[in-house]
Amino acid sequence: MWLADAPPLVLASASSSRRAVLAGAGLPFSAEAAAVDEAELKAAAKAEGMSAGEAALLLAGAKAERIARRHPEALVIGCDQLLVCGERWFDKPVDLPEAAAHLRALAGQAHVLETAMVVWRNGRQIWQHLERPRLEMRALSEAFIAAYLALEGEQVLSSVGAYRLEGPGVHLFTTIKGEHSAILGLPLLPLLGFLRQHAVLRG
């Protein structure tokens, strides 16, 4: 499906979930973590009055741009995801006690995953996409939260919201609306459409 003369595809991310999405689709790619100061960029976005979606696009673009400097000829994909519940933006928990606190705050509530993807090539941004999956978490008892975190361990620290939908985290929810790959952090169907339009993937 990938054309022989297509440019290299590079994922600007260390996320195992995003890598699994691309690998599962049979796309040939390499992956490199992008070292950007996410906390500083988020703070700046809030100070400028950006929406969470705009902030996610800003972060995704910064990651893609950083890696694109090393690989100007490649199609470089940058991604970012912000969890928004009410007016609060959630970051990845730093430890298991904070993961438990996040789950208590999200329990019984609906939240949105502002999921952004940006592509850079030849020194400029050539495409961007934003999806907003909506998930509703069921009420959770303290006993369940403790058992869930004991089962998952520090794996939840790599996920905003302290859950992995591709794993036991699916037990947390009553309603899930949105493409599964977008919830994992990389909206695959729009990306495949972009690649076909740019004649790097066979139509």
Among left, alpha and beta (phi > 0; psi -120 to 50; other), residue 122 is left
Inter-residue contact 112 to 51 (CB < 8 Å):
no
* Opening angle at CA 195, ends 60 and 112, nearest 5: 40
The conformation of residue 50, written as its DSSP 8-state character, comes to -
Single out the catalytic residue among 37, 80, 91, 95.
Answer: 80
* DSSP for 110-152, written as a single string: EEEEEEEEEEEETTEEEEEEEE--EEEEPP--HHHHHHHHHHH
DSSP-assigned beta bridge partners for residue 79: 117
Residue 80 annotated among the catalytic residues of the structure: yes
Three-state SS at 109 = coil
Q: Would you please indicate which residues are annotated as catalytic (active-site) residues?
A: 80
